[in-house]
Amino acid sequence: MPALLEAKGLHAAYGETKVLHGIDFSVEEGGVTALLGANGAGKTTTLRAICGMVHTDGDIILGGEAIAGMATEDVVRRGVAHVPDGRGTFMELTVEENMRLGAYTRKDREVEADFERMFGYFPRLKERFRQQAGTLSGGEQQMLAITRALLLRPRLLLLDEPSFGLAPLIVKEIFNIMRRIRHEEKVSILLVEQNASLALAFAEDAYLLETGRIVVSGKAADISKDESIRRSYLGY
């Protein structure tokens, strides 16, 4: 089965500073791929590159279509939902408005039904539906961000460090819900995480980034069992 997303020889730079030096990776249809690495390795840049938020060279192919160089709005409209680092919540808007924005590009009539399904995953959002998003806790904002992304009915979900700044219990809760989502929503996921053990437990495939280059790639299960990799690159 061909991969949903394929990147070949992907370079990316912020102005003069080059961050990615020609990486190759792919995300299988219906699969979960983890992108690991230390701070500054280029993980967030990779997600931004897919979304057209940074200057890139090389190929990015989504479902057979080349999307490198496309504007963010156009990539999004092809079924890519990005939950950015820092959540990207519209702080001044309500939870409801944030969710409606998630469904902005949709023209079908099932948005309300989707809202209910999201409440099924994240009941707290229903409680806070009309509250200003900025008053939500970090964990709730993360849930809102994921919800907003899912309301796009994406083919590919990009998650940038969902565990960042959250208490371990909340992180665990979110990842459990992510497992449910993954199976019920039939969405492929590219997950960027600094918390390697968490990511490897969730993903099927994994890539390891170090200063803009892929140093390790393979099945997540194999990588997590490989002690030398874990100690040299993942710190545990």
Residue ranges that bind other proteins, judged by CB under 8 A: 39-40, 44, 51, 53, 71-73, 76-77, 81-82, 84-93, 97, 100-102, 104-105, 132, 134-138, 141, 148, 152, 161, 164-165
Q: Which helix (H) or strand (E) holds 23?
A: strand 17-27
Q: Taking the complex as a whole, how short is the minimal distance between the CB of residue 4 and other proteins, in angstroms?
A: 19
Task: Give 17 or 228: the residue with its C-beta nearer to other proteins.
Answer: 17
- Please state the length of the chain: 236
Least distance (Å) between residue 35 CB and other proteins: 15
CB of 93 to other proteins, least distance (A): 7
AA identity, residue 113? A
Task: Between 61 and 93, name the residue whose CB sits nearer to other proteins.
Answer: 93
Q: Which is nearer to other proteins, 55 or 183 (CB)?
A: 55
Tokens found for residue 172: 């665990």
Provide the minimum distance between the beta carbon of 33 and other proteins in the complex, in angstroms, as a whole number. 20
- In terms of CB distance, is 14 or 236 closer to other proteins? 14
Phi, psi of 114 (to 5 degrees): -65, -40
Q: 39 vs 228, which CB is nearer to other proteins?
A: 39
Smallest gap, in angstroms, from Cβ of residue 149 to other proteins? 8
Three-state DSSP state, 78: coil
Nearest to 121 by CA among 179, 169, 82: 179
State how far the Cα of 21 lies from the Cα of 210, in Å rounded to an integer: 10
Pairwise CA distance, residues 53 & 10, whole Å: 14
Q: For residue 175, how many other CB atoms are within 10 A of its CB?
A: 18
